[in-house]
Amino acid sequence: MKTAEEILKDKDGGLITVSPDTTIVEALRIMIENQIGAILIKENDKITGIWTERDLMRNTVQGDFDPKKARI
């Protein structure tokens, strides 16, 4: 059985990833440019997570949330 990563690699356009130290603003910019609602987090050549529009909603309600400083 294929892993999620293998399935995504088979899709046109390949994987769109960011590193864990990417700011929320940077990740959103990439997501908008690529018309996607989620972005994969890659560390040491391995997919380690996913960040979604829903995560943005959760982050936004935090009182001290600053998308220019907050990291994925």
Per-residue pLDDT of 27-55, as tens digits, reads 999 999 999 999 999 999 999 999 999 99
Check residue 14 and give its pLDDT.
77
Report H helices in the chain. 4-10, 24-33, 53-60
Instruction: Give the total number of structural domains in the chain.
Output: 1
Give the phi and the psi of residue 39 in degrees, each rounded to 5: -135, 140
Q: Please state, in angstroms and rounded to a whole number, the distance separating the CA atoms of residues 22 and 10.
A: 25
Q: Is residue 27 part of a domain?
A: yes
Check residue 11 and give its pLDDT.
67
User: Which CATH number goes with the domain that contains 52?
Assistant: 3.10.580.10
Determine which of 1-10, 11-20, 42-51, 61-70 has the lowest per-residue pLDDT on average: 1-10
Q: Is residue 69 part of a domain?
A: no
**Domain around 36:** 4-60
**Burial (CB count within 10 angstroms: exposed 0-12, middle 13-18, buried 19+), residue 24:** buried
